Amino acid sequence: MKKSILITTLASLVIASSASAAVTAFSLPTPVSTYSNAGNAQYVLGYTFTVGSNPLTVTDLGFFDAGGNGLGTAHPVTIWNSGGTVVGTATVSSGTTGTLEGGYRYTTVPEPITLSANTTYTIGATMYTNMDVSPANQSIAAATAAAGITLGSARSNMTGVFPTGDPNGLGHYLTANFKFNAVPEPGVALLAGIAAIPFLRRRR
C-alpha cells in the first residue's frame, strides 16, 4: 500500500512540475519601436499561430505595454479557432493591474483554454483610437516563438469581428500575446513510476 502511494505521489509531482511553469508564446527583439492607432477606427489586430504535436493549455492573455508603466484603457484579447468560433477570451485591465512580462501585460483567463495539437488558431486584441500602442518595427517572422508554437500571418478586422484580413505580416499586429503550459503526455506518469523504483528498493 505504501509503495503504491509513493509511486502515485512521485508521478503527480513529475506531472505537476511539467505543467507548473507557464511560458510566453513569443518574445520580440529589442529595441521595440511603437505604432500609434491615432486617427484610426477601432480594430481587432492579431495573427494566426499553429500548435505543435502536443496540446497546450493557455493560462494568461496579454496586451503590449510599450513603456511598462500601465495601459491607458482595458483591452479584450480573444482566441478563435479557424472557423471563427471563440475558444477563450479575457480583458487585460487598464493601469498596472496585470502582470508585466517581456513587454506585455497579462491577465489570468477565467478558465484554462485548451488548444488542440496540430491546429491553427487566431489571437487578436482590440485597439482603440488614441489609446495605447502596438510594437511596430518587427515583422512576425522576427519574433521568437516558444517551443510548441509556430507563428503564422497577421490578421485584422473591425472590433468584435473574427479577424480574417492579412495585412502582409506587419509587426504592429503582434499586439496580443499569451502564456501556456504544455499538456503532459501519458508517458510522463510511466516515467515517474520507473523513476520511483530506486526509492522503493531503498525502502525494503
**Per-residue model confidence (pLDDT) at position 10:** 43
**Per-residue model confidence (pLDDT) at position 85:** 97
Report residue 176's pLDDT band, with 50, 70 and 90 as the boundaries.
Answer: very high
Q: Tell me, yes or no, whether 52 lies in a domain.
A: yes
Q: Tell me, yes or no, whether 173 lies in a domain.
A: yes
CB 48 within 8 A of CB 75: no
Q: Tell me, yes or no, whether 157 lies in a domain.
A: yes
pTM: 0.80
Q: How far apart are CA 128 and CA 99, in angstroms?
A: 21
Q: Tell me, yes or no, whether 144 lies in a domain.
A: yes
The 3-state DSSP class for residue 47 equals: strand
Q: Tell me, yes or no, whether 190 lies in a domain.
A: no
Range of the domain at 110: 21-183
Q: Tell me, yes or no, whether 12 lies in a domain.
A: no
Residue 173: pLDDT over 90: no
**Per-residue model confidence (pLDDT) at position 6:** 44
Can you tell me the mean pLDDT for 26-46? 78
Q: What is the CA radius of gyration of the chain?
A: 20
pLDDT tens for residues 120-155?
A: 999 999 988 777 888 875 678 889 999 999 999 889
Averaged pLDDT of the chain:
81
**Per-residue model confidence (pLDDT) at position 38:** 60
Report the percentage of the chain scoring pLDDT > 90: 51
Count how many domains the chain has.
1
Q: Tell me, yes or no, whether 7 lies in a domain.
A: no
For residue 156, the domain's CATH number is 2.60.120.820
Residue 168: pLDDT over 50: yes
Q: How far apart are CA 24 and CA 56, in angstroms?
A: 12
What's the number of CA atoms in the CB half-sphere (13 Å) around residue 95?
A: 1
More confident residue, 51 or 188: 51
Q: Tell me, yes or no, whether 189 lies in a domain.
A: no
